[in-house]
Amino acid sequence: MRRVQSRSLTLGIETSCDETSVAVVEDGRRVLSNVIHSQVDLHKEFGGVVPELAARDHLERLPQVLDLALGRAAVKPDDIDLVAVTRGPGLVGCLLVGVGVGEGLAAAWAKPLAGVNHLWGHIYAAMLTRPDLEPPLLGLVVSGAHSDLVRMPEHGRFEVIGRTRDDAAGEAFDKAARMLGLGFPGGPALDRVARRGDPRRQRLPRPSLPGLEYSFSGLKTALLYRLRDLGEAVTDQDRADLAAAFEQSVVESLLEKLDLALDQNPVAEVVVAGGVAANSLLRRRAAEVIAGRARLTMPPLELCTDNAAMIAAAGHYGARSSSAQPADVDPSLSW
Ligand code: KG4
Ligand code: ZN
């Protein structure tokens, strides 16, 4: 049956790390379905993501996640106009599963295929949050492997203007949580425990490099030495205080550079996105730092962490931009 109104439906696929996700998004803005299967339980006993297990689980779960996504959106393969899949950066074995399935579906359904840069996907999560949001914008993408400041002058164009020299913010949170014995996944656990702590009782250094560069490895070492000094005497309250001090240090460092980037690149719209954007202190402080200078958009928690709706949205706009790439797994390409 022909559709009366012309709308464009994108099927998104995300398998770059430990979430298997398929989504259907209308016109790059409206989420019709966004099915996410988290592998947290699979990796918990290892204290981190095991790439081989993750890739195999993506392969096993994808058919069911795909069926659910189509069913919840109440669409058939024939209704889909574009298949968008994360092509990188991420765990190569995991990316290959998503890209292979994307290529297979695109071929079987005779649909075009767009390869999406996962990080730009995180920025597009903000477009799903606010349908009126348009570039130019300044973005801070904070995930498990990246802490990037980006300028987005128009759809499909991104310029990284700042990044981390060593650890990413999410990686730093995960490692700190492990040192504090808070388990996996570390970021959300540290966020919770820090609420019971006082950052002034166990002060930690605030990393600060010149320009728009981040560095979190020194802070991590400072935490390690502090825990070593406390030794057996460490209490739960010490751990909560240290979690709060660590969180404050990372968050203030992230925002100091965002503040500087906004001074250097005045724009009306600022986006803070990626898994770490789920952090409660970052959400509160970002709103304070940006207030009165630009409009801040931070996606809701379920769109901060990895999901396929953001990949579908980015694919929709990327397919319309001249810089769109095919879906080969290539973590180094910018779209
Ligand atoms: O974007 P994401 O889901 O996956 C990657 O692309 O890496 O980000 C995952 C990262 C992990 O390091 C996780 O610990 C962190 O986001 N994270 C958080 C919180 N929720 C997730 N970090 C701090 N506070 C949170 N509430
Ligand atoms: Zn991510």
What's the predicted TM-score (pTM) here? 0.94
At residue 21, what are phi and psi to the nearest 5 degrees? -140, 140
Strands (E), 67-217: 82-88, 113-117, 137-142, 147-154, 157-162
Q: Out of 18, 193, 305, 306, give the residue to mutate to test ligand 1, the one with the largest number of ligand atoms within 8 Å of its CB.
A: 305
247 Cα to the center of ligand 1, angstroms:
13
> For residue 304, which ligand has an atom nearest its CA?
1
At residue 31, what are phi and psi to the nearest 5 degrees? -80, 115
305 Cα to the center of ligand 1, angstroms:
6
80 Cα to the center of ligand 1, angstroms:
30
Contact 258, 151 (CB under 8 A): no
* Residue of the CA atom closest to atom 13 of ligand 1: 187
Reading the chain (335 residues) residue by residue, the pLDDT tens digits are 444 557 999 999 999 999 999 999 999 999 999 999 999 999 999 988 999 999 999 999 999 999 999 999 999 999 999 999 999 999 999 999 999 999 999 999 999 999 999 999 999 999 999 999 999 999 999 999 999 999 999 998 999 999 999 999 999 999 999 999 998 889 999 999 999 999 999 999 998 899 999 999 999 999 999 999 999 999 999 999 999 999 999 999 999 999 999 999 999 999 999 999 999 999 999 999 999 999 999 999 999 999 999 999 999 998 766 555 666 665 555 44
Q: Out of 49, 173, 190, 283, give the residue to mutate to test ligand 1, the one with the largest number of ligand atoms within 8 Å of its CB.
A: 173
Distance in angstroms (rounded) separating the CA atoms of residues 166 and 147: 10
| Helix or strand (DSSP H, E) at 19 | strand 19-26
1 Cα to the center of ligand 2, angstroms:
37
- Which amino acid does the sequence have at 80? I
